Amino acid sequence: MLEAQTLSKQVTTAAGTLTILNEVSLCVKAGDSLAITGSSGSGKSTLLGILAGLDEPSSGQVKLHQHEITALNEERRAKVRADHVGFVFQSFQLLPGLTALENVMMPLELHGVANARGKAEFFLTRVGLNGRLHHYPKQLSGGEQQRVAIARAFASEPDILFADEPTGNLDSETGAHVIDLLFELNREQGTTLVLVTHEQRLAEHCRQRIRLEGGKVIERKPCEAA
């Protein structure tokens, strides 16, 4: 489903060239889950961005669902994302002017999915928010907002879901609920899951785990070669 080979990312700053990722390779099979852990500034989010086709590496290749996305331009990468990718973000990224229902409907409408409303209602009910369909994000708690974001991600039935610190803005109890929900839906839909986290508890839910430090993979579990 997802394969990365010798990914490197350098940026030029006033102080010189900075290496953010250094020859990272990994492979995730369909339906599998991968946790990318590491301290702040270790390159986790940069790696996630490149894997999801939001960013380009300085060198290396990424193959996502048979598409070598590192060889595509942004317009075609967008098409790949539209067809195969879903996201859950640390800061939820709900649009403040839209209700919970409209937030979930948005990607469906964007992709021209028929009966976007019905589908969005189904997934919001699935995450336990059937009573909150017409609430705006500011009227929801942090946990509820993240559940809306999860509903949005799964509603478009992606092949692979990328989650960036999905519990980073939540207290531990709410975070635990969100984790349970995420993996439950993941199992139900057979989605491949790649998540970035610094929470050990969350990482342990994933079958594969890699730990980054200074842009390099310093630990890989289970220890199979990429």
Interface residues with another protein (CB under 8 A) are 45, 48-49, 52, 54-55, 74-75, 78-83, 85, 87, 89, 93, 95-98, 102, 106-107, 109-112, 138, 156, 164
Nearer to another protein, 108 or 181 (CB): 108
Distance from the Cα of residue 35 to its chain's centroid: 10
Instruction: Looking at the chain, list the stretches that DSSP marks H as alpha helix, in order from N- to C-terminal side.
Output: 44-51, 74-84, 100-110, 116-126, 142-155, 172-189, 200-203
Cα radius of gyration (the chain): 17
Q: Give the angle 43-189-92 at the CA atoms, nearest 5°.
A: 45
Nearer to another protein, 111 or 201 (CB): 111
Nearer to another protein, 95 or 219 (CB): 95
Instruction: Provide the minimum distance between the beta carbon of 219 and another protein in the complex, in angstroms, as a whole number.
Output: 23
Both tokens assigned to 113: 């999915």
Distance from the Cα of residue 146 to its chain's centroid: 13
Phi, psi angles (nearest 5°) of residue 140: -110, 155
Nearer to another protein, 111 or 187 (CB): 111
Instruction: Provide the minimum distance between the beta carbon of 168 and another protein in the complex, in angstroms, as a whole number.
Output: 12
Nearer to another protein, 85 or 182 (CB): 85
Nearer to another protein, 49 or 214 (CB): 49
CA–CA gap between residue 61 and residue 207 (Å, rounded): 23
Q: Are 16 and 25 in contact (CB under 8 A)?
A: no
Instruction: Provide the minimum distance between the beta carbon of 222 and another protein in the complex, in angstroms, as a whole number.
Output: 28
Instruction: Provide the minimum distance between the beta carbon of 55 and another protein in the complex, in angstroms, as a whole number.
Output: 5
Instruction: Provide the minimum distance between the beta carbon of 172 and another protein in the complex, in angstroms, as a whole number.
Output: 19
Instruction: Provide the minimum distance between the beta carbon of 223 and another protein in the complex, in angstroms, as a whole number.
Output: 29
Q: Which of 39, 10, 5 is nearest to 23 (CA)?
A: 5
